[in-house]
Structure 1
Amino acid sequence: MNQPVAPTVITEAAWKAVGVGRKHESAELHVLGQATYTDDIPELHGTLHGALGLSSKAHARITAMDLAPVRSAPGVVAVYTAADIVGTNDCGPIIHDDPIWAVEEVMYVGQPMFMVVADTHDNARRAARRALVTYEELPAIFTPQEAKAAGAYVLPPMQLKRGDYQAAFEKAPHVVKGQLFVGGQEQFYLEGQIAYAIPKEDDALLVQCSTQHPSEMQHVVAHAIGVHSHKVQVECRRMGGGFGGKESQSALWAASAGIAASKLRRPVKLRADRDDDMLVTGKRHCFYYEYEVGYDGDGKILAARVDMTLRAGFSADLSGPVATRAVCHFDNAYYLSDVDIRAGCGKTNTQSNTAFRGFGGPQGAIAIEYIIDEIARNLGRDALDIRRLNFYGKTERNVTPYGQEIVDNVIEALTAELEQSSDYRARRQAVEAFNAASPVLKKGLALTPLKFGIAFNVTHLNQAGALVHVYVDGSVLVNHGGTEMGQGINTKVLQVVAHELGLDMSQLRIMATDTSKVANTSATAASTGADLNGKAAQDAARQIRERLAAYAVKLYGDEDGQPVRFFDNHVHVNGHKVAFPELVQKAYLARVQLWSDGFYATPGLHWDPKTMSGHPFSYYAYGAAVSEVVVDTLTGEWKLLRADALYDAGRSLNPAIDIGQVEGAFIQGMGWLTTEQLWWNPAGKLMTHAPSTYKIPGISDCPEDFRVKLFDNSNVEDSIHRSKAVGEPPLLLPFSVFFAIRDAISSVGGHKVNPPLHAPATSEEILRAISAVEMAA
């Protein structure tokens, strides 16, 4: 029976739970070591442990696989191959071209071929290495350049055109052409891939899994063991990092554990060793670019063409959406009138690359920044001036190549504020003076902007659900479809619900993400976690609040004509101040519904993949950063001296968390562009598969002077409390580090030569670029 609705308000002047810095909801548990991750869940009696047998060849037919030595190894209970899968041998998220375990043919070094189940983790790992496999090797492709030359793609190449690029290019007085290579990146989450599958009655299965996409894991496991989705429950309380690496790639581990547990009717845990994790799983896509751009004497871009080839790996995975986002972010903050933007997902005999923070956006945007950097140097101008000249306008030059009108543009104002607060012009002069007097050490300075679209490329994924319970004692339990990977989504959702009900955060608790509580969820990805799930939770809490308000009016009347107000743990109605628990207890006795589900679907989104046009984003986040570096031209070593970042988080739900996210994204993106080099040997084996060979940034790589601020702005769209996403966009801020390094190298040749610097800008790459500048100067 529907309850009547009474008007309610939250008096923000008196009390509010959003828009203020609050600690992470699990902060104390993290510090005390009491936060439960998947591997911390107490193991049930009889738990077994799994390990995967991996291919040692990049591309080959399996001519024989003798698993007898594996089965006879100490502690082994069972060994399974693809022939033992009763359901579907597939874990591909979109196109079904990604087997759980290889059948007849292996496509990369590290591809799982079978699974061992043993009494201990160590016994399973040791046994998996005893398999005797013979191969017939086949030709292999490793780089995107090779894939492009061979016409090898996992998906048909895509193209976005606007205007008449060729005609505009031929009329342009100046032209710049070139190639660029930007490497991939390992997610390097602290907690590796892990799944713990527990059989339940009636052939059901509970899967505790470190995943960004519980619903996808539910589907994959159900298909693999041949049951309907309602028999598979997936739960994730928190992850020790994800960064996109646990969006689709966790499916292999969940499915493997689920298959073994279903067959043995015993709990099975599959936890990846760090080396195996890095060998098996996909990373950020590396990109190879060929570009040509026409521009006028002032530096305004008149025509732009770019051909991007991604290293997709052996299967499609999420390469299609990643390429689409790269195409849609090539413009970054700049109006491009006549463009021809192409992207091809090159098929290579390497790990199937996947989502990574930014999801193709950073790879698309860095190309136009590289081009503008070259234009500026060719014209002898400061790159900031060329950037500003090409910015999107407010009312003109404000439609993207894919046809979306930009209605929230603040990039000019934001950049101007950062230019002034960072003392950019004075520091530019100081850098030039330093370089003139320093023959070996050279400084560089760069300011780069960002514009990043917020929403999933695929429209139907922009939805979320939530479930809110108010118990008789006035305490509140919250469930939603997002997953916590350290980014603070649970904290923000709790803040939203607390705000709606006028309660302190201590009155609320959040539960693990659970497919049996909120069904058909989207991945926590595309920077939409707080946007979608915050709105869904707000919807659920508001329904409860309105029911309580209607009941309060029934009890106390509304003669004062004021709406019912919820704040400071009380309900204020008709001159009465009633404690929230007191009203809840009375409402329960009166049979008022004290729980509610909530739902949200982002409005106004549409996309036509055939024409590459539409309105794919709800809004844009903006930002800019200034970085100053010093480079040792004899060794290629460098150091980031100072970084200033200004980011548009709208009306931030939690400034403390958002500033932390900007800082983390900056350092992670800096690692991608400078130190984190993925290297495969000539046989196709990833050799950088451990902390000893793969260099992520350390504390010593962080600048001593690191200034991060949030731009004062309000989202023009009706996002949750007019906030903006802060997950992925800030990863573009450290473009400024890369171009500051390029600026320092350029000074070696008096800024007359464009350094051929590729990413990551390792010391070796920097020395190569310096040598090229010296030879050309």
Structure 2
Amino acid sequence: MQLVKTLHPPKVKKSSKPIDRGIRNIDSYTHLRGESLYVDDVNVREGTLHAVVFDSNCAHGKIKNIDYSKALDLTGVVSILTSKDVPGENQIGGIFPDEPLFAEGEVHYWGQPMALIVAETKTIAKKARRLIVAEYEELPVITTAKQAKEKGSFISAPRSFNLGDVDGTFAECDYIFEGESFSNGQEHLYIEAQGAYAEPLENGNIRIVSSTQGPTAVQKTTAQVLGLPMHKIEIDVTRLGGGFGGKEDQATPWAVMAALAAQHLNQSVKLILDRHDDLRMTGKRHPYNSTYKIGLSKDLKILAYEVELLQNAGAAADLSPAIAERTLFHATNSYYVPNVKSTVYSCKTNLPPNTAFRGFGGPQGMFVIESAIAQAASELGVLPSAIQEANLLEENQEFSYGQVATKVEAKNSWMSAKEKFQLEQAREKIYEFNSNSPVAKKGLAVMPITFGISFTNTQMNHARALVHIYQDGSIGISTAAVEMGQGVNTKLLQIAADIFSVNGRKVKIESTNTTRVANTSPSAASSTADLNGKALVMACENLLNRLKTIVAQEYKVDEKEVALKDEWVYVAGQKTDITWEQLIFKAMALRVALTENAHYATPIIHFDKSKEKGHPFAYHVYGTAIVTATVDCLRGTYEFDSVKIVHDYGKSMNPGIDLGQVEGALIQGIGWMTLEEIAYAENGRLLSNALSTYKVPDIYSVPKEVEVLPLETDGNDMAILKSKAVGEPPLMYGIGAYFAIQNAMKAFNPNYKMKFHAPMTPEKVLLGLYNQ
């Protein structure tokens, strides 16, 4: 069948490169060459001013007086803005309105913003900051969650998830163990510090380039503070130099401050935090103090588990209540426990408001139950893996929050890792090594993970996509997805290129912009690719169907017989002489819409907070890691010989990117569990305020061998193209590093009583090795 050519499209250059289905990260080239653009790379308007934040050097106190006179007299200082200059509400709190943009009357943490210095250069603004003198009437300081609970200082009411009869079941348990654990905070240490550039436009509009994971949150809060409607504020994000949750909520104040200054001065303003300012003023992963009680039967089944978790929220809510909730969701990790009582308190302290961090409270909850299992195993004289394996989640078992587990891969991943990595042989080799090595000892730990995918706040699980097909056949895509190194732009490009069957070079992923795609959820909860990708699929398929209709009508065939393949039109399986570009030309001539806007909302999920029951997750990600460590028992130092993982990718749409996410999350998790120790003085001042006092994993800290095998599975239809979320779940594999070290210590000192106080720094190892 030949098409009768009634139209005469322009000549176009054909793509010589075949469709690349296994595309590499599209940012790799510009990253390597240093050409990728971030906030600090924006071409600024002539006369742009620079801002520096003046913050509190008192953790809790009444503001008696602040003298700005010397700073204002400094040549080059244009203005100093305080709460008195806010035309709208001096409030940036998201969940609760408990966080002022600038302190008023009192300060509640060391590093709390009090004013914004705007000057001709950043150097002048920083010099002016040193000239400001603040006087305080100091008040009592709370730095730990335990202190906060004792004083009744809370962000919100406690929450509890319950299943079965915990109290009654403990009376029937053969073994009961009780203990406590502590997991410290963690600094995000994104490569690109917090920052924003605000530019006043005509008619009172303001455009902000922000380093944020949540453009809509920045837009909404800026409008609130400036006393403007949201449509007057435009937020644009090209990419972030890392986020890890630290820019989900805490990117907002800096953007708001820059916009406030731009509004007041009618000039563009740039505010980029220095690393030390960022470390001092921003919140971290939440530290948790926890107590637990675990009951087992003689056959090592966990019959009952009770846990109380004290979350150190800091001085304001930020995202702490939502993070506390996620801790409850993952309090039993990969295990089925028929009787559970888990309670979390969000404790208010005088630290910077702690915030989202990869895992969003889940890792803290998982660490506690793994500690409980480790203690039980130690006291019973069995391997922790014996208890772990005996209690792995199975199909149709119920989580403590009411969701029934389906398509469960917990045992599949465990048994795959056990077999493929020859777990028993590995144990025998370690036993042989330890028997012949008086100084160095090896330890092994197995770490299973089960992590739910979705925002636990149901209403946040939605996204939109806007797609333009241009006259020459090129394609522009806008979504709410923020690229921050996780490769989401590449996956979005893959989706469009696959649906239209065009070369990826024809597809452009636009910056994330609130004018093009509005009212969106942040790029967080490992849901960015799922939500935005599903919306993009809908938009692209709607456009594709329109294009197929054109061909079907001309050929007088059913639309089902029309297909696009490698930029050519096929009818009834036969290649026509219509190229992709010619098809688009036809659509234009026939006045067919080549723009589509689609909205996706995750189905099925729901959660009733009044009952603490529901079905909050679209699906779960599973996996198992086997971690082996060697401890130098003279020095207390350690290294990781290997981490071997079987991970549930589903049907990965980009194995290269997904592998990178697993490896990166693993190392970040190991860092949290071993090296990264947040320290505050009793007066609330951050002590680990530089990379000389806060250690992160470097090339020498990375395991000598990291092997990641994909779990053989059918995937899940709720995931984009059955490719499961991969951002957060692998971080929890790092918890295994903590227990591998402890097991090596126990091999050296049989009298060592296991402790569960993370991170396991070399200092703690050395003390534990010789503890009698």
- TM-score, reference length from structure 1: 0.95
What amino acid is aligned across from residue 144 of structure 1 in structure 2? A
What amino acid is aligned across from residue 535 of structure 1 in structure 2? K
Counterpart CA distance in 1 for 2:444 and 2:571 is 59
Deviation at 1:753, TM superposition (A): 5.1
Deviation at 1:748, TM superposition (A): 2.5
Counterpart CA distance in 2 for 1:461 and 1:587 is 36
Counterpart CA distance in 2 for 1:291 and 1:339 is 11
Matches within 5 A, 1:582-593: 582-593=582-593
Find the residue that maps to 2:451 and give its secondary structure.
strand
Counterpart CA distance in 1 for 2:166 and 2:42 is 58
Deviation at 1:97, TM superposition (A): 0.4
Name the structure 2 match of 1:673: 673
Bigger mean CA deviation after superposition, 546-555 or 294-303 = 294-303
Query: Contact conserved, 1:17 with 1:496, CA < 8 A, in 2?
Result: no
Q: For residues 197-249 of structure 1, what are the alpha-carbon distances to aligned partners after superposition, in whole Å with 9 as ceiling and x for unaligned?
A: 00001100000000000000000111111100000000000000000000000
Name the structure 2 match of 1:432: 431
Name the structure 2 match of 1:548: 547
Matches within 5 A, 1:332-351: 332-351=333-352
Counterpart CA distance in 2 for 1:177 and 1:167 is 17
Query: Contact conserved, 1:757 with 1:769, CA < 8 A, in 2?
Result: no
Q: For residues 248-290 of structure 1, what are the alpha-carbon distances to aligned partners after superposition, in whole Å with 9 as ceiling and x for unaligned?
A: 0011101100100001000000000100001111110011011
Q: For residues 66-122 of structure 1, what are the alpha-carbon distances to aligned partners after superposition, in whole Å with 9 as ceiling and x for unaligned?
A: 111111123100001111101111111210101111001001111110010000111
Bigger mean CA deviation after superposition, 166-175 or 357-366 = 166-175
**2:577 is the alignment partner of 1:564:** no
Deviation at 1:768, TM superposition (A): 2.9
Counterpart CA distance in 2 for 1:153 and 1:689 is 26
Deviation at 1:630, TM superposition (A): 0.6
Q: For residues 436-459 of structure 1, what are the alpha-carbon distances to aligned partners after superposition, in whole Å with 9 as ceiling and x for unaligned?
A: 222221110111100000000100
Counterpart CA distance in 1 for 2:696 and 2:369 is 26
What amino acid is aligned across from residue 412 of structure 2 in structure 1? A
Find the residue that maps to 1:401 and give its secondary structure.
coil
Bigger mean CA deviation after superposition, 539-548 or 161-170 = 161-170
Counterpart CA distance in 1 for 2:391 and 2:373 is 9
Name the structure 2 match of 1:97: 98
RMSD: 1.4
**2:256 is the alignment partner of 1:249:** no
Counterpart CA distance in 2 for 1:21 and 1:245 is 31
Counterpart CA distance in 1 for 2:66 and 2:518 is 41
**2:755 is the alignment partner of 1:756:** yes
Matches within 5 A, 1:642-657: 642-657=642-657
Deviation at 1:330, TM superposition (A): 0.7
Query: Contact conserved, 1:467 with 1:518, CA < 8 A, in 2?
Result: yes
Bigger mean CA deviation after superposition, 686-695 or 135-144 = 686-695
Counterpart CA distance in 2 for 1:345 and 1:130 is 37
Name the structure 1 match of 2:372: 371
Find the residue that maps to 1:707 and give its secondary structure.
strand
Counterpart CA distance in 2 for 1:17 and 1:614 is 43
Counterpart CA distance in 1 for 2:75 and 2:279 is 26
Deviation at 1:17, TM superposition (A): 7.0
What amino acid is aligned across from residue 354 of structure 2 in structure 1? N
Deviation at 1:754, TM superposition (A): 3.9
Which of 571, 574, 579 is the aligned partner of 1:573? 571
What amino acid is aligned across from residue 553 of structure 2 in structure 1? K
Structure 1 stretches of 4+ moved >3 Å: 15-18
Query: Contact conserved, 2:371 with 2:756, CA < 8 A, in 1?
Result: no
Find the residue that maps to 2:156 and give its secondary structure.
coil
Counterpart CA distance in 1 for 2:280 and 2:612 is 34
Name the structure 2 match of 1:10: none
**2:730 is the alignment partner of 1:743:** no
Query: Contact conserved, 1:172 with 1:295, CA < 8 A, in 2?
Result: yes
Query: Contact conserved, 1:456 with 1:526, CA < 8 A, in 2?
Result: yes
Query: Contact conserved, 1:377 with 1:753, CA < 8 A, in 2?
Result: no
Name the structure 1 match of 2:724: 724
Distance 1:132 1:718, change over 3 A: closer
Deviation at 1:562, TM superposition (A): 5.7
Deviation at 1:767, TM superposition (A): 2.2
What amino acid is aligned across from residue 565 of structure 1 in structure 2? A
Find the residue that maps to 2:770 and give its secondary structure.
helix
Name the structure 2 match of 1:380: 381
Bigger mean CA deviation after superposition, 140-149 or 321-330 = 140-149
Name the structure 2 match of 1:317: 318
Name the structure 2 match of 1:406: 405
Counterpart CA distance in 2 for 1:297 and 1:440 is 36
Bigger mean CA deviation after superposition, 290-299 or 276-285 = 290-299
Query: Contact conserved, 2:529 with 2:725, CA < 8 A, in 1?
Result: yes
Q: For residues 584-640 of structure 1, what are the alpha-carbon distances to aligned partners after superposition, in whole Å with 9 as ceiling and x for unaligned?
A: 001101101111011110001111112211101000000111111111222211001
Counterpart CA distance in 2 for 1:21 and 1:354 is 35
What amino acid is aligned across from residue 93 of structure 1 in structure 2? G
Find the residue that maps to 1:736 and give its secondary structure.
helix
Name the structure 2 match of 1:3: none
Name the structure 1 match of 2:151: 150
Query: Contact conserved, 2:749 with 2:770, CA < 8 A, in 1?
Result: no
Counterpart CA distance in 2 for 1:566 and 1:691 is 53
Query: Contact conserved, 2:141 with 2:682, CA < 8 A, in 1?
Result: no
Counterpart CA distance in 1 for 2:504 and 2:146 is 53
Matches within 5 A, 1:37-52: 37-52=38-53
Deviation at 1:417, TM superposition (A): 1.0
Find the residue that maps to 1:202 and give its secondary structure.
helix
Find the residue that maps to 2:623 and give its secondary structure.
strand
Counterpart CA distance in 1 for 2:599 and 2:714 is 23
Deviation at 1:720, TM superposition (A): 1.5
Q: For residues 471-492 of structure 1, what are the alpha-carbon distances to aligned partners after superposition, in whole Å with 9 as ceiling and x for unaligned?
A: 1111101110110001011110
Structure 2, unaligned stretches of length 5 or more? Answer: 1-16
Matches within 5 A, 1:131-170: 131-170=132-171
**2:488 is the alignment partner of 1:499:** no
How many correspondences in the alignment?
A: 754
Query: Contact conserved, 2:530 with 2:725, CA < 8 A, in 1?
Result: yes
Structure 1, unaligned stretches of length 5 or more? Answer: 1-14
Deviation at 1:419, TM superposition (A): 1.1
Q: For residues 403-435 of structure 1, what are the alpha-carbon distances to aligned partners after superposition, in whole Å with 9 as ceiling and x for unaligned?
A: 100111011111111112222111111111222
Counterpart CA distance in 1 for 2:224 and 2:577 is 54
- TM-score, reference length from structure 2: 0.96
Query: Contact conserved, 1:299 with 1:376, CA < 8 A, in 2?
Result: no
Matches within 5 A, 1:206-355: 206-355=207-356
Deviation at 1:504, TM superposition (A): 1.2
Name the structure 2 match of 1:4: none
Name the structure 2 match of 1:539: 538
Name the structure 1 match of 2:6: none
Identical columns (%): 38
Matches within 5 A, 1:587-602: 587-602=587-602
What amino acid is aligned across from residue 22 of structure 1 in structure 2? I
Counterpart CA distance in 1 for 2:488 and 2:201 is 30
Name the structure 2 match of 1:637: 637
Query: Contact conserved, 1:50 with 1:269, CA < 8 A, in 2?
Result: yes
Query: Contact conserved, 1:714 with 1:723, CA < 8 A, in 2?
Result: no
Name the structure 2 match of 1:6: none
Deviation at 1:383, TM superposition (A): 1.7
Find the residue that maps to 1:43 and give its secondary structure.
coil
What amino acid is aligned across from residue 600 of structure 2 in structure 1? Y
What amino acid is aligned across from residue 128 of structure 1 in structure 2? R
Counterpart CA distance in 2 for 1:399 and 1:424 is 29
Bigger mean CA deviation after superposition, 417-426 or 321-330 = 417-426
Query: Contact conserved, 1:757 with 1:765, CA < 8 A, in 2?
Result: no
Deviation at 1:514, TM superposition (A): 0.2
Name the structure 1 match of 2:31: 30
Query: Contact conserved, 1:79 with 1:114, CA < 8 A, in 2?
Result: yes
